[in-house]
Amino acid sequence: MGKMLARARLGWALGQQMGAGWLAYRLWYAASLKSGLVARRLPMSSWGERPFTATLADPQLAEPNAYTAYRQQAATPFYFTAPDRAVYSSLLGQWDGEEATPGRLVEELRSGQWRYYGQPCGDGNKPAVIGMPPNWHRNPFTGQTAPKEQHWSRISDFAHGDIKTIWEASRFSFVYALVRAYWRSGDEALAELFWQLVLDWREQNPPQQGPNWKCGQETSLRIMGWCFGLYGFSGSVTSTPERVATLAHMLAISGERVEGNLRYALSQQNNHGISEATGLWTLGLLFPEFQAAARWREKGRKALEAQGQTLIYDDGSFAQHSVNYQRLMLHDYLWCMRLGELHGRPFSTALQQRIQAAGNWLYQLQAGHNGEVPYYGQIDGALILPLNNCDFQDFRPVIQATHYLTKGTRCYPDGPWDEDLLWLFGPQALGTAVISVRQDDFVAPDGGYYTLRTAKSMVFTRCAKLHHRPSQADMLHVDLWQQGNPIAVDAGTYSYNAPPPWNNVLAHTRYHNTVTVDDQEQMERMGKFMWLPWVEGKVQYSQRSDDGRLAYWQGTHGGYGRLPQPVKYQRAIVQAGEDTWLILDAGQSIGAHQYRLHWLLYPWAYTWQPEQGHVQLNTPGGVYHMRLGQIGAEAALSLVTGAKDSPRGWYAPYYGRREPALSLTVEGEGKTAVFWTLFTPVDTKVAALGNSVHFHGQDGRVTVEWSLTAASNLVRRVYVEGEFTRRLDITA
């Protein structure tokens, strides 16, 4: 009875948030999986049972030599052609280093190893052992294997560990490294390796059988990789007519899988629908000889246009609330829009404007010396166009390519991030003008993203009225970057499906840089990727002084309004100089509660003075200080790094990898709690006296006056007394 009530409650909440039509379709789809309807619609077969002839408009083209002759005559445009290699090879070497080279990745692949989820070479990082050829159905980290002879609809998402790790090798992302290395060296062994892997995958993965057919997005990403390899190795002696025809057959069957379940992908309202539309658009353009080519092309285009208008907001924010999914989405659209240009089928101006805004969104968040952005949202390790030597955390390649696609200029000077331009747009893109774009305070109200930025530091926060389902309970989380170095950070994701306590646990409120009340989440977790009801954030105030030295931002969310004795929670961010920041957190209720403020700091070398609530960080930019406490009460402070029995004090720089970080908490109990946190390069004491907070910043003595009066903002006034007196009045 309890389970039935819980399911009914979940269904009601889902209907309220997602709509009755969405819920009805998802219930129907779940029933169609269970009843075997999906398996009957997309039945298992051998490759011979669905022959190449059945997929072609002209069955006579199935003969390999005839097919090769047709392909050579049709010359369907791609980003590059085989004769381009002579020019490209002279350009590619400029971006290589001792570790940063596709040759290093290829050598590991030859020995049966591969770097999952963008984990870097060097620094003792070891690749996964996948075998050569790989076991396409095995998780190389746990040894778990998914059944390869069952229909994909019968295979559980979670019964075999993290299924993403089983899927990863079958994305064929290593094709990009193989092509990049081949165009540098001309080593025919690399082309031969590509074909051996394709043919082995074919043998081990008959149509609609096993885990690697389960996800249409994975199938679409494999389509992209196979197409890149087909064109990248088209000039190789190893690309025989028989092999080319075989791969084309595999691509056609893959298109049938994607089309057959596209409606479900679109119902997810996320990257899955975009990626699967990308697969259909790609096949429809590059293989006009396929029977379904025109239909796939138009279905793909229609979905790409519709998804772009629905899931990318006017301000460039993306519906998945994640910097990494923002990049994945942009990679899909870069691939599709450039192909559309080459085939004389450009997308609408409205979509192009959305993509431009989405690229600018990432650019405005970019804060790190090495192209990093705040690690916000789910980070699942996806890097679907690895066309450069840059690290997974470097977002400059996709920002640069999107900027060039939409504006015809570059926003960054020459660097290894330009290799994407070469592969997608050709050598002419490398010489285009660099027109710098100002990074300033950024307001993205549709998605609810805000930054306060100075010449030396940046604060990022999230305060949104959600339009699409959230994946983390992290409203009013704050990131802080100082002189291009991370200070206060997001923990990342680690894994969607791992043994406790690591089962997507970093999505919880308590591991973000915000306040938790009574150890409750901002929303209730109703499933691995479902939080209900959606928490609503609201920006209450934002102001900057004329000279830019002072700024104030305030927001609130109603996540704890659902408690029996509701809590009003507000967060205020005060900028008092170029890289001095005071953050106030206030919780108020008619009843007593337990309040807990958490901060996760990047693991720089540090010293900790618990009696003073003081952490000194030794960053590459110099010493930086953090102090924290509670106003009007004795603070209960705690610092943990890399806890042995919990996820506290950990962060995941890459999916599947975790490292110790600094977790600080301050806790208080009562009807009201006001916490203060100071970040500054100045080693200063903090005096929290009455309704004011005093400290010294770079510009002099700072006084911040605050109040919990309902009629006013949390902060009323900011004074700075030094060589110049500055004042910021926060009006009601």
Q: Lowest mean pLDDT: which of 162-166, 196-200, 334-338? A: 162-166
Question: pTM to 2 decimals?
Answer: 0.96
Instruction: Classify burial at 732, counting beta carbons within 10 Å of its beta carbon; exposed 0-12, middle 13-18, buried 19 or more.
Output: exposed
Phi, psi angles (nearest 5°) of residue 422? -60, -50
Looking at residue 122, what is its pLDDT?
56
The more confident residue out of 619 and 712 is 619
Residues 8 and 2: their CA atoms lie apart, in Å, by: 10
Residues 107 and 102: their CA atoms lie apart, in Å, by: 9
Half-sphere exposure of 55 (CA within 13 A, CB side): 29
pLDDT per residue as tens digits for the range 710-729: 677 999 999 999 878 899 99
pLDDT per residue as tens digits for the range 210-262: 999 999 999 999 999 999 999 999 999 999 999 999 999 999 999 999 999 99
The overall average pLDDT reported for the chain is 95
What are the structural domains of the chain? 2-35 (no CATH), 36-292 (1.50.10.100), 312-436 (no CATH), 442-541+554-678 (2.70.98.70)
Residues 282 and 276: their CA atoms lie apart, in Å, by: 10
pLDDT per residue as tens digits for the range 481-500: 999 999 999 999 999 999 99
The total number of residues shown for the chain amounts to 732
- Please give the full DSSP string across 490-548, using - where no structure is assigned: ------SS-STT-SSGGGSGGGSSSEEETTB-SSEEEETTEEESPPBEEEEEEEE-TTS
**Contact, 538 vs 561, CB < 8 A?**
no
Angle at the Cα of 138 from the Cα atoms of 137 and 139, rounded to 5 degrees: 135
pLDDT per residue as tens digits for the range 3-42: 666 666 666 777 778 888 888 898 999 999 999 999 999 9
Residue 200 structure tokens: 């082995």
Looking at residue 6, what is its pLDDT?
60
- Sign of dihedral through CA atoms 105, 111, 112, 113? negative
Residue 16 structure tokens: 């309220």
Looking at residue 20, what is its pLDDT?
85
List Cβ neighbours of 457 (8 Å cut-off, separation of 6 or more).
Answer: 480, 481, 482, 483, 578, 579, 581
Looking at residue 528, what is its pLDDT?
80
Q: Averaged over 677-682, what is the pLDDT?
A: 97
Contacts 24+ apart (CB under 8 A), 25-33: 25/263, 25/267, 26/267, 29/264, 29/267, 33/153
Residues 423 and 91: their CA atoms lie apart, in Å, by: 11
- Sign of dihedral through CA atoms 640, 643, 648, 654? positive
**Contact, 363 vs 320, CB < 8 A?**
no
Q: Lowest mean pLDDT: which of 79-88, 91-100, 382-391? A: 91-100
Among the listed residues 223, 213, 308, 317, the one whose alpha carbon sits nearest the alpha carbon of residue 269: 308
Among the listed residues 400, 392, 468, the one whose alpha carbon sits nearest the alpha carbon of residue 433: 400
The more confident residue out of 90 and 1 is 90
Contacts 24+ apart (CB under 8 A), 234-241: 234/81, 234/82, 235/82, 235/83, 235/85, 236/182, 236/188, 236/191, 237/188, 237/191, 238/188, 238/191, 238/192, 238/194, 238/195, 239/191, 239/195, 240/64, 241/64, 241/65, 241/67, 241/68
The alpha carbon of 513 is separated from its chain's Cα centroid by a whole number of angstroms, namely 19
Q: Is the pLDDT of residue 1 over 60?
A: no
Using pLDDT thresholds of 50, 70 and 90, give the confidence band for residue 419: very high
Task: State what percent of residues in the chain have pLDDT above 70.
Answer: 98
Q: Which residues, listed in sequence order, are joined to residue 675 by a DSSP beta bridge? A: 585, 630
Among the listed residues 615, 591, 586, 621, the one whose alpha carbon sits nearest the alpha carbon of residue 709: 586
Using pLDDT thresholds of 50, 70 and 90, give the confidence band for residue 553: very high
Phi, psi angles (nearest 5°) of residue 189? -65, -25
Residues 181 and 179: their CA atoms lie apart, in Å, by: 5
Q: How far is CA 727 from CA 542, 552, 653, 680, 699, in A?
A: 15, 12, 40, 19, 12
Angle at the Cα of 229 from the Cα atoms of 225 and 232, rounded to 5 degrees: 135
**Contact, 726 vs 720, CB < 8 A?**
yes
Looking at residue 5, what is its pLDDT?
63
Residues 245 and 265: their CA atoms lie apart, in Å, by: 29
Helix axes 271-286 and 323-342, enclosed angle (nearest 10): 20
Task: State what percent of residues in the chain have pLDDT above 90.
Answer: 89
Q: Is the pLDDT of residue 378 over 90?
A: yes
Q: Which helix (H) or strand (E) holds 257?
A: helix 241-260
Q: Averaged over 423-445, what is the pLDDT?
A: 96
Using pLDDT thresholds of 50, 70 and 90, give the confidence band for residue 529: confident
pLDDT per residue as tens digits for the range 89-147: 999 999 998 777 999 999 999 999 999 999 886 555 788 999 999 999 999 999 999 99
pLDDT per residue as tens digits for the range 556-587: 999 999 999 999 999 999 999 999 999 999 99
| Straight-line distance from the first to the last Cα atom of the chain, in angstroms, rounded to the nearest whole number | 51
Looking at residue 10, what is its pLDDT?
64
Looking at residue 211, what is its pLDDT?
98
